[in-house]
Structure 1
Amino acid sequence: MARRGARSVALLVVLCAAPLDARDRQDGDSADVDYRRGMDFARLEQWDQARLAFEAGRKKAPRDKRFVLELAGVAFKQGRLGESKLELRRALRLAPGDAYAADFLATLYFLDGNLRAALKYWNRAGKPRIEVVRTVPKPRVKPALLDRALVFSPASLLRLEDLEATDARLDLLGIFPARRFALAPRQDGSFDLDLHLAEQDGAGAGRLARLLPLLRGLPYQTVHPEFFNIRGTASSSISLLRWDGRKQRIASSFSLPLAGDPRRRFTARFDARREEWDISRSARPDAFERTDLRMQRLEAAAEVESIAGRGVRWETGAAVTRRRFPAAPQQGSAAPALFADGLSLKHLAGIRATLLSVPERRFTAEAFARWQAAKTFGDRSGRFAKLDGGLQWRYFPRPRGRDWEVSGALGAGTLFGRAPLDELFSLGLERDNDLALRGHAGTLAGRKGSGPLGTGYFLANCDLQRAVYSGALWSIRAGPFVDTGRVYDTAGAFGSARRLWDVGLAVHISLLDRVGIVFSYGRDLRAGRNAFYSAT
């Protein structure tokens, strides 16, 4: 009876407020009246009427944060979480230091599973405090090395920049391909932090986990011997053996944290190739008297990669290369440099930086740049340099989950001087190439060189991916793509006459979070050719 009576009294107050009394008319129907009316409706859980009252008050006092905060609360009560976040962001623009709005907004992102966005706003309110840090499951890497990778510590404030720095260090260790950070609430308002780390250790745990990575390349006459986290030191050996008669290759790399520091990684690699090329599709007519050739190449390199700051990595190194072109074409102005036998010394440098990160929008964009400068020795000694760079971005349009993903890349590069054939930029689908123009095959009858070649390039890729199936052992994502690009050649031997356009469909399959398989079908809209491709 008492509760019913209280509700009746509140309703009476609201009804009496509808025809304004003389005092309120004197106030000119002020924003405060709308605020009181909205609060009364909210206490009665009459959310639509409360929203109308608060919106009326906001029109009269657009700089008053009270109306924005209350509209956020009404939207939350009505289950319109997206609108609630929008109102809270407006409130923080009006009052950046409002701890209540920041805490409320952070909680909504936390409920979405968007930890980075939650931390961005919780940190404004001096939250969250973590009491215990747990790794799930317990990793086999040495505890001291893992501890140096963790920037945060128990019984302290968890800051977004510390979480991002920790994630970057764990990524550079090279043994945690999948990482997830989760906060577990405690009764006192603090949290425990759980690090879910999918660790690669040795050749894998279990027969299937060992065999899948090793044998994933069998359809392409390739095996991949891989050993990770050797003796718990995060040292790894990754190799490739390909016995394809037209693209033989042996490659191996060994990497480890430099001086036990997870912020720096040293890599030594060796690469030996014996390949057949057919440049009949990529070369200009009459540029060479023959378009079939063979190449032999040996290369050894050493590189250091380092985390330079928040979202920034750089790398530097050196490589020595020995190449031969047995019975290569000799006629044509570009032939002497393209098919020159000899030794080359090369300096390598690169940088990658987070250009834009909007965790509440689930959008990230990275910029990268790579530089190579080489000196060649032999009968046709000289110098050449390569510079390329671009942008890569990812966007998850839904507030939670990864059912939909939009991604893209934009890149361009140029080459200075006269470089050997294998140093030219090559667009198309080929297992040793990372400039994918997915309607153009990079090989012809198993021979390299059929994709567009040149001393400069422009390339743009855009993908839309939808999660088709997600299970404990495997998952499938699929969707359309659009690629466009063009290659240029200062010597006039290669290059494309106009911009190229490709469209198609790509399917990504993940097995045990260790092996990824990509199937794609692309169509070259200019030439009308199709390209079917698969890779691991």
Structure 2
Amino acid sequence: MDAGGRAGGGAVMRMIRVLLAACALAAAQAPEEHLRQGREHVREERWEEARAAYTAGARAAPGDIRFPLHLAGIAFKLGDHRTARGHLHAALRIDEGNAYANDFLATLYALDENLDAALKYWNRVERPVAASLRLPPGLRIRPTLLDGLFAFPPMGLIRRDDYLLTRARLEQVGVFPRYRFQVTPQAEGEKFEVEFAATEQAGWGPAGVARYVLPLRGIFFQSVMPEYRNLGGRAVNLSSLARWDRNKRRFGFVLSGPAGDDGSIRQAVYVDHRRERWDLRRSHRSGDAAPADLDLRQLAAGYGFRGIVSHRHAWWVEMEASWRSWPGGVPEGAEFAGGFAPIVRIGLDSRLLDVPERRFAVETGMSVVTGKVMRSGLGAFVQTQGRMEGRWYPRARGEDGAMRMLVRGGRTAGGLPFDQLHVLGIERDTGLWMRGHAGTVDGRKGSAPMGRDSVLATWEVDKVVHRGGFWTLTVGPLLDAGRVWDGRGGFGGPGWLMDAGVQGRVRLLSGPEVTLSWGRDLRGGGSVFYAALGRGPMLGRPFSGGQFLD
């Protein structure tokens, strides 16, 4: 190549380098230009133009945390907390430790009354530090016990684990049916004021007419349910049930209280006496040849305790002595053996998954039940049971649209007595509800599928249709699917069962929850309308009742 050619080639390369440098300079200046434009629009309160400028900047420089922070500020200014949270999460994906983003995001969750999520992000920047803890006036619970329930210091850093442990203790003592914590920054300084707002149960019930009405809430079910809460300010609670239904006579009580001053261990004693009539023609394999008027008498008494290990784990033990007899004569079949039986239940409850930002949690539980009817040839039995429950609240605050999914299952080895069989049906003394299958026929138990082994999955949604100062009404669909097996005895189901329907719940401000359900048996074609108090047995065992098999 001659000299002229080499000179021309060098000029071209210099021009390319100049163009590349200019492009690099323009690319470097573009984010700053978008920031400048966005700030000018913000000063003029031209929010859409500002948002467009910052969005363009975020596309030009996806690793620049300033753009999602500015976008979050605009969304907050416009009252769109959901979008603001999304931008702040994007900022934290760039820099997880950014103090401003963590504090801003935590404040948004606190404004939505989601303190669980707020503490997750505040704790990253060593906040919030409490200056004081305000309590409701006139509480009857003893100050030393109340102080022990709070795992976080009244003046100091509130850590999320301590807050969740406090909630677990408060729920275990059974004195505060409704409570909330409110954390607000002080007008001056960096500290926060913490307020504990709660409704306390004490004595036989609230003052006025409600005190005399609440024990009669089961009157339409031929029952009375006196309760006494917080005896002597020690969180000692008494729950009782007396039912005079000629087919399902029952008397029982549970007396429970904390074993220490921090509420981590709760102990209980209970007594349960039943005189029931059963009609097994629909649940026993022998059909019409099965007993149609079986008279069962049972007396059980026990002691149990439950310990909280952390906000994620708790364990419990129940030791029971029971006696069963058949005043009308003992029917044929090993499972109908009567006599004295010691029973021990051991269980573990755990929180498997917790996503406070999405208000989604999954809890699990497992238990082992073992016992033996002493005066029979049944031998000992062992039941293993498990459950998994998922809850999701789709809205940022409140319980509107709450969704619940619960799966339970159990298997049995050995000689199981009749009263320990799994029952899939809706009935006030059992916890395995299939809401399209009635647990009674003509008032007598025995119409629902029964067996030694079972699996049950339930799904439901609660949509709030009325919320007032005195009562709240929710309505939503339900879906149940389950099956029972019995390889040794005369029970067992016809196969997989599926129920669908609708249910409503009425929750009174200072009283119980009433559940009204209508379920359709998609396999058999029948339907059941049922009214019940609460979401499980009327008086279950203190720690295992309603969770597994009751």
TM-score of the pair, normalised by structure 2 = 0.89
Unaligned 5+ segments in structure 1 are 1-20
Over 3 Å counting, the alpha-carbon distance change for 1:288 and 1:368 in structure 2 is farther
Match of 1:411 in 2: 408
Alpha-carbon distance in structure 1 between the residues aligned to 2:344 and 2:354: 31
- Deviation of 1:197 (Å): 1.7
- Deviation of 1:311 (Å): 2.1
1:153 aligns with 2:150: no
Match of 1:59 in 2: 59
Match of 2:339 among 336, 339, 342: 342
Match of 2:320 in 1: 319
Q: Which amino acid aligns with 1:147?
A: D
1:240-255 equivalences in 2 (<5 Å) = 240-255=241-256
Q: Which amino acid aligns with 1:104?
A: F
Q: Which amino acid aligns with 2:382?
A: A
Match of 1:177 in 2: 177
Match of 1:238 in 2: 239
Deviations 1:114-140 (A, max 9, x none): 222111111112211211111124310
Alpha-carbon distance in structure 1 between the residues aligned to 2:116 and 2:376: 57
1:392 aligns with 2:389: yes
1:228 aligns with 2:202: no
- Deviation of 1:327 (Å): 4.3
SS at match of 2:170: helix
1:210-225 equivalences in 2 (<5 Å) = 210-225=211-226
1:373-384 equivalences in 2 (<5 Å) = 373-384=370-381
SS at match of 2:27: coil
Match of 2:14 in 1: none
SS at match of 1:364: strand
Q: Which amino acid aligns with 1:158?
A: I
Match of 1:430 among 427, 431, 437: 427
- Deviation of 1:66 (Å): 2.0
Alpha-carbon distance in structure 2 between the residues aligned to 1:289 and 1:426: 17
Alpha-carbon distance in structure 2 between the residues aligned to 1:471 and 1:43: 43
- Deviation of 1:357 (Å): 1.6
The answer as to whether partners of 2:378 and 2:416 remain within 8 angstroms in 1 is no
Count of residues paired in the alignment: 512
SS at match of 2:381: strand
Moved more, 23-32 or 238-247: 23-32
Alpha-carbon distance in structure 1 between the residues aligned to 2:357 and 2:399: 14
1:101 aligns with 2:98: no
1:29-40 equivalences in 2 (<5 Å) = 29-30=27-28, 31-40=31-40
Alpha-carbon distance in structure 2 between the residues aligned to 1:464 and 1:433: 22
Alpha-carbon distance in structure 2 between the residues aligned to 1:34 and 1:511: 55
Alpha-carbon distance in structure 1 between the residues aligned to 2:73 and 2:192: 24
1:470 aligns with 2:467: yes
- Deviation of 1:443 (Å): 0.6
Q: Which amino acid aligns with 1:219?
A: F
Percent sequence identity is 38
- Deviation of 1:39 (Å): 3.3
Alpha-carbon distance in structure 1 between the residues aligned to 2:489 and 2:277: 23
Match of 1:521 among 512, 515, 518: 518
The answer as to whether partners of 2:204 and 2:211 remain within 8 angstroms in 1 is yes
The answer as to whether partners of 1:185 and 1:191 remain within 8 angstroms in 2 is yes
The answer as to whether partners of 1:288 and 1:330 remain within 8 angstroms in 2 is no
Alpha-carbon distance in structure 2 between the residues aligned to 1:287 and 1:302: 40
1:357 aligns with 2:358: no
Alpha-carbon distance in structure 1 between the residues aligned to 2:173 and 2:81: 38
Unaligned 5+ segments in structure 2 are 1-18, 534-550
Match of 1:9 in 2: none
Match of 2:455 in 1: 458
The answer as to whether partners of 1:252 and 1:270 remain within 8 angstroms in 2 is yes
The answer as to whether partners of 2:281 and 2:289 remain within 8 angstroms in 1 is no
- Deviation of 1:507 (Å): 1.2
TM-score of the pair, normalised by structure 1 = 0.91
Over 3 Å counting, the alpha-carbon distance change for 1:62 and 1:300 in structure 2 is same
The answer as to whether partners of 1:264 and 1:305 remain within 8 angstroms in 2 is yes
Over 3 Å counting, the alpha-carbon distance change for 1:259 and 1:156 in structure 2 is closer
The answer as to whether partners of 1:139 and 1:197 remain within 8 angstroms in 2 is no
Match of 1:205 in 2: 206
The answer as to whether partners of 2:330 and 2:337 remain within 8 angstroms in 1 is no
1:117 aligns with 2:117: yes
Moved more, 383-392 or 29-38: 29-38
Q: Which amino acid aligns with 1:296?
A: R
